Amino acid sequence: MGGPALQHLYLHVPFCPTICPYCDFHVVRRYGDVVEAYLKRLAQEARGLFEQHPGPLTTLYLGGGTPSFLRSHELEALFRALPWNIEAAEVTLEANPGTLNPERLGLLRELGVNRISLGVQSFQDSVLKTLGRAHGRTGALRAVEMSLEAGFHTSIDLILGLPGQDVEADLAQATALGVEHVSAYTLQVEPGTPFALRGLAPDPDSEAQALALAQEVLGTAGLARYEVSNFARPGRESQHNLAYWRNAFWGGLGPGATGQLAGLEPHIFAVRYTNPPLPRWLQGEEPLLEQVGSLEHLKESLMLGLRLAQGVDLELLEQRSGLEVWPALEPAVRQLSSQGLLVVQQKRIRASDLNTLHPIILQLWDGLERQNPAPLEPRRLPGY
Amino acid sequence: MQERIRNFSIIAHVDHGKSTLADRILQMTKAVSDREMREQFLDSLELERERGITIKASAVRLFYQSKAGETYIFNLIDTPGHVDFGYEVSRALAAVEGVLLVVDASQGVEAQTIANFYLAMEHEHTIIPVINKIDLPGAQPLEVALEVEEVLGIPADECIFASGKTGQGVDEILEAIVARIPAPKGHPEHPLQALIFDSIFDAYQGVIPYVRVMDGSIQPGDRIRIWSTGKVFEVDKVGVFRPGALEPVARLGPGEVGWITAAIREIGDAQVGDTITLAQNPCDAPYPGFQPAKPVVFAGLYPTDTQDYNRLREALEKLKLNDAALSFEPETSEALGFGFRCGFLGLLHAEIVQERLEREFDLDLISTAPSVIYRVKLTNGEEIEIHNPSELPNPDKIEAIYEPYVKLTVYTPEEYVGSIMQLLQEKRGKMGNMHYVGKRVEMVYEVPFGEILYDFHDRLKSLSRGYASMDYEQAGYQEGELVKVSILVNEEPVDALAFIAHKDKAYGIGREIVDKLAEVIPRQQFAVPIQAAIGGKIIARATVKALRKDVLAKCYGGDITRKKKLLEKQKEGKKRMKAIGKVDVPQEAFLAVLSAGRD
């Protein structure tokens, strides 16, 4: 397999104690001996990937679902199933406040986890109730404190701008607790979720307002906005998520997980695959493949990279894709920068306002497509 | 052979089942096998099928064995069924000796039934009334037959009761065609006189005129002359229309309907209504009634991508070949760049042309709101025609503005007369006369054409629950108190959005248009003011608020594909927009004037 060594791995744990009404991730309640079957298949899948991509890993992310909802022996089995060296890696585990206690945290520590991402959402009981969360304010506070006491790099998820929410109070609470990373999401109502059915569509003006407030309150506490929805003390950014936004390669394990690996042929830059949902994944069904040509990879890199406060290094993209990026983009970049929408430093570009990226992305895409017309039709590869 | 030919058309009010009946006739004369039978066989344009209406005349030759055992040649010429296409109907009718006048058994006689009836009468045609759709639950065939007698003066017992859908009564229609419609006249020895009633364009053969030979005959090798242009061509092939194909024959004699190829390259050499004769032995006079089609509605058509300008011109040239009524000339708009000001027979015609251009020629177009032709008398005595509202000179240079009127005939059950009168008053209509025919009323009005251009027909239909019908003809010009309203987007006047309105209505329409624009122009990264102005005076304003957030909150590894698709979709949407200054303006915006000032 060509390309640089695989450094990042995402592992999906689909089980949840309750299903949140805004969630569109691949989640299921646990039943029968499904977790056992899951762990068995996971071990198999991990071995296969490891043979091709032996690492070592710099990041491992256990997302869900609610990975912390697994029982202790299941968590142990899960880590046993991963043959990679993770000693130097950032190892994040997503957790729900109700699923943590000092004992459990100790075990996680032992297994190699060093970062906890807590799905707090809010510190207000009424908001948590609207969200259908299992925990309340007390549970949220306790979980954050425990995680910090146990020495984990701790990140919390906050939701912004729900009806009846005092956003400022939630943000202030987060800074008071001393977390070093906050993911603050405006409510994204996905089609088909119960929230969508209730017509809870957010309005862009109040979303922008809430984000501005988050930027102010968290910024004052030393957590800088480094991505559209993410804030961190410098040096405490999520290395794993940065890999996505820099459009790197990563492996994906588990049902519904997505991975992106280097392509096997010159005109296929990358292959993105998505595993089938749990029942079919357990039966060994193949993932869905999407071949990404160099031009498409570039377009995605712009779309993702502009979400970062530091923006995109076009020179790096040129090196990676082998395409002429700068000449294609220069006219658009100059124009956008004269309109005050882009900030240009040598060959690095960043958006002046992280809230409004679409017109910028579309204009840059236009430049790329003009310069590199008619991308090669990607062909289907034999089993990947 | 000539006495065994029957040339006929089917005429009807729109939606009275003409195409279905034509299909059934094709099937019952075995012109098409049941297997080939698809609905609306004659409506070959994709668009016609989809809309279920006939836009273009089209012809087919059928063989019918009568009950007496004789074989006849039937030439069926289909006609458009919409009020916009009156000229095409009249040319198609010139090519036949008789018509089937189709009337819906539940709807009864309607305005176009009457208009088409009079057209057929002008040609002194045999008229076979057919009461159609008798299979429907609401059908009242006898009542409708009596109405036909009362309104049109055709004896009720001449009516044939039929259903195009079930085929009931169609054999009776076929026998009536043989028995009642006369064989075509004309002499084989006379000089050639052939009427062009339609034409198509073929990439290899050039323009192919569809003709009806009135006198004389035509065959390959003949040198023909086009009457109006005087140009001479050598005939390559002649032929007839078989279902789904053009079939070559040795010659076309008097009374026959067919096609000619003669390496004709220019559209102007095969205009509908023109006459073809022989170069050496011409006829004395052309077939009467030819008139170059007169567009009455004008709109600008612009490619969204300026690089498509030449493709648009080529496409318009090709369309014009079999759409004689379409006219176009280059036009430049400050807002939209290079495009064409196109003339149409009406709004439906305009819409169809735009759709055909987009579909058949794969163009993305922006069209401006259609406008009628105004005549302006300047203070210096000069008179000019205004095809585009933005060309209207400053008020101080104008002595008077004249707007076109139409004579509008509305045919309605009496209970809707009151509300229709109210609608016509709102449209500045002047009542001509009104008379009762049984329980129906025929109302004749003079109305400014611009007032009925957009939604009049829809509103008439809705306030009469679909029962009232209308027809109109151009009725000259009258002076009006008209003003030009300019629209400014982001402080810049947009010529393509300017419109002319009666001064009493200008404020209201201006208000509605700026509101509508503020609604359809997508939010940009900055606030966009929209204003309406008469001269230098702002009469209405609205604002498109700045878009302050468009990114999705979450975008991780698993979201990339979906997120990219979303953006690609936005990009496609943007293609359908025109950048005016820094503002992206969608197509709907240019048509905002259509939906404004209507209640």
Q: Is B244 annotated as a binding residue?
A: no
Nearest-Cα residue of chain B relative to residue A160: B553
Which is more confident, B332 or A226? A226
| CA-based nearest distance A247→chain B, Å | 8
Band (pLDDT 50/70/90 cuts) for residue A2 is very low
Q: Is B15 annotated as a binding residue?
A: yes
Chain B contacts of A257, Cβ < 8 Å? 558
Residue B188 domain flag: no
Nearest neighbour of B554 by CB, restricted to A229, A252, A354: A229
Is it the case that residue B61 has pLDDT exceeding 70? Answer: yes
For chain B, give the mean pLDDT.
Answer: 85
Is it the case that residue B598 has pLDDT exceeding 60? Answer: no
- In terms of domains, do B15 and B49 share one? yes
- In terms of domains, do B11 and B159 share one? yes
| Contact assessment for residue B556 and residue A257, using Cβ atoms and an 8 Å cutoff | no
Residue B289 domain flag: no
Which is more confident, B325 or A164? A164
Q: Is B134 annotated as a binding residue?
A: yes
Is it the case that residue B68 has pLDDT exceeding 60? Answer: yes
Which is more confident, A144 or B91? A144
Q: Is B20 annotated as a binding residue?
A: yes
- In terms of domains, do B462 and B490 share one? no
Band (pLDDT 50/70/90 cuts) for residue B87 is low
Chain B contacts of A252, Cβ < 8 Å? 557-558
Report the CATH number at residue B108. Answer: 3.40.50.300
- pLDDT for the residue numbered A222: 96
| CA-based nearest distance B490→chain A, Å | 16
Q: Which H helix or E strand runs over B189?
A: none
User: How much of chain B is helix, strand and coil, in % rounded to 5?
Assistant: 30, 35, 35
Residue B108 domain flag: yes
Q: Is B18 annotated as a binding residue?
A: yes
Nearest-Cα residue of chain A relative to residue B545: A205
- In terms of domains, do B152 and B65 share one? yes
Task: Count CB pairs under 8 A between chains A and B.
Answer: 92
Which is more confident, B458 or A294? A294
Hey, are the CB atoms on B560 and A354 less than 8 Å from each other?
A: no
Hey, are the CB atoms on B557 and A300 less than 8 Å from each other?
A: no
Chain A contacts of B565, Cβ < 8 Å? none
Nearest neighbour of B567 by CB, restricted to A211, A339, A358: A358
Report yes or no: B307 at the A interface, CB cutoff 8 Å.
Answer: no
- pLDDT for the residue numbered B126: 94
Hey, are the CB atoms on A356 and B570 less than 8 Å from each other?
A: no
The dihedral formed by the CA atoms of A282, A283, A284 and A286, expressed in degrees to the nearest 10: -100
CA distance A269 to A292: 6
- pLDDT for the residue numbered B40: 47
Hey, are the CB atoms on A365 and B567 less than 8 Å from each other?
A: yes
Chain A contacts of B558, Cβ < 8 Å? 252, 256-258, 274
The dihedral formed by the CA atoms of A220, A226, A231 and A235, expressed in degrees to the nearest 10: -90
Chain A contacts of B553, Cβ < 8 Å? 185-188, 228-229
- In terms of domains, do B156 and B12 share one? yes
Report yes or no: B564 at the A interface, CB cutoff 8 Å.
Answer: yes
Nearest neighbour of B548 by CB, restricted to A204, A244, A339: A204
| Contact assessment for residue B335 and residue B27, using Cβ atoms and an 8 Å cutoff | no
Residue B147 domain flag: yes
User: What is the distance of C-alpha A114 from the center of its chain?
Assistant: 17
CA distance B41 to B35: 12
- In terms of domains, do B176 and B29 share one? yes
- In terms of domains, do B87 and B11 share one? yes
pTM: 0.62
Residue B287 domain flag: no
Residue B292 domain flag: no
- Please tell me the CATH code under which domain A8-244 is placed: 3.20.20.70
**Which residues on chain A place their C-beta less than 8 Å from a C-beta of chain B?**
10, 185-188, 204-205, 207-208, 211, 228-229, 241, 244-245, 250, 252, 256-260, 272, 274, 290, 296, 299-300, 303-304, 307, 339, 341, 353-359, 361-362, 365-366
Nearest-Cα residue of chain A relative to residue B568: A362
Is it the case that residue B226 has pLDDT exceeding 60? Answer: yes
User: Number of helices and strands (H, E) in chain B?
Assistant: 15, 32
Band (pLDDT 50/70/90 cuts) for residue B462 is confident
- In terms of domains, do B514 and B576 share one? yes
**Per-residue pLDDT averaged across A324-328, rounded?**
86
| CA-based nearest distance B420→chain A, Å | 41
- pLDDT for the residue numbered B295: 76
Residue B345 domain flag: yes
Residue B491 domain flag: yes
pLDDT per position as a tens digit, A303-317 = 999 999 999 999 998
- In terms of domains, do B84 and B105 share one? yes
Nearest neighbour of A258 by CB, restricted to B551, B555, B557: B557
Q: Which amino acid, one-letter code, is at B389?
A: P
Hey, are the CB atoms on A259 and B557 less than 8 Å from each other?
A: yes
Is it the case that residue B140 has pLDDT exceeding 70? Answer: yes
From residue A41, alpha-carbon distances to A84, B270, B536 in Å are: 17, 75, 75
Hey, are the CB atoms on B551 and A307 less than 8 Å from each other?
A: yes
Q: Is the peptide bond before B273 cis (omega within 30 degrees of 0)?
A: no
Q: Is B17 annotated as a binding residue?
A: yes
pLDDT per position as a tens digit, B12-33 = 887 788 888 888 888 888 765 5
Which is more confident, B87 or B99? B99
| Residue range of the domain that includes B361 | 297-368
| Contact assessment for residue B164 and residue B23, using Cβ atoms and an 8 Å cutoff | yes
- Where does a domain end: B243, B278, B313? B278
Nearest neighbour of A208 by CB, restricted to B549, B557, B564: B549
Residue A43's CB is within 10 A of a number of other CB atoms, namely: 17
- In terms of domains, do B113 and B21 share one? yes
Is it the case that residue B538 has pLDDT exceeding 80? Answer: yes
Nearest-Cα residue of chain B relative to residue A274: B558
Is it the case that residue A121 has pLDDT exceeding 60? Answer: yes
Q: Is B163 annotated as a binding residue?
A: no
Nearest neighbour of B570 by CB, restricted to A208, A244, A358: A358
pLDDT per position as a tens digit, A193-239 = 777 767 666 778 888 889 999 999 999 999 999 999 999 999 999 99
**Can you spell out the DSSP letters for A118-140?**
EEEE-S-HHHHHHTT-S--HHHH
- In terms of domains, do B410 and B492 share one? no
Q: Which of B593, B109, B67 is nearest to B370 (CA)?
A: B593
pLDDT per position as a tens digit, A271-284 = 999 999 998 999 99
Nearest-Cα residue of chain A relative to residue B584: A359
Band (pLDDT 50/70/90 cuts) for residue B471 is confident
User: What is the distance of C-alpha A252 from the center of its chain?
Assistant: 12
Chain A contacts of B567, Cβ < 8 Å? 303, 358, 361-362, 365
- pLDDT for the residue numbered B386: 92
- pLDDT for the residue numbered B411: 85
- Number of domains chain B is built from: 5
| CA-based nearest distance A153→chain B, Å | 20
3-class SS of residue A263: coil
pLDDT per position as a tens digit, A331-382 = 999 999 998 999 999 889 999 999 999 989 999 998 888 776 544 333 333 3
Q: Please, what CATH class does the domain formed by A255-371 belong to?
A: mainly alpha
Hey, are the CB atoms on A299 and B570 less than 8 Å from each other?
A: no
CA distance B210 to B200: 8
- pLDDT for the residue numbered A207: 86
What is the percent of chain B with per-residue pLDDT over 90, rounded to a whole number? 40
Domains of chain A, residue spans = 8-244, 255-371
Equal CATH topology for A8-244 and A255-371: no
Which is more confident, B384 or A378? B384
**Per-residue pLDDT averaged across B43-54, rounded?**
46
- pLDDT for the residue numbered A237: 97
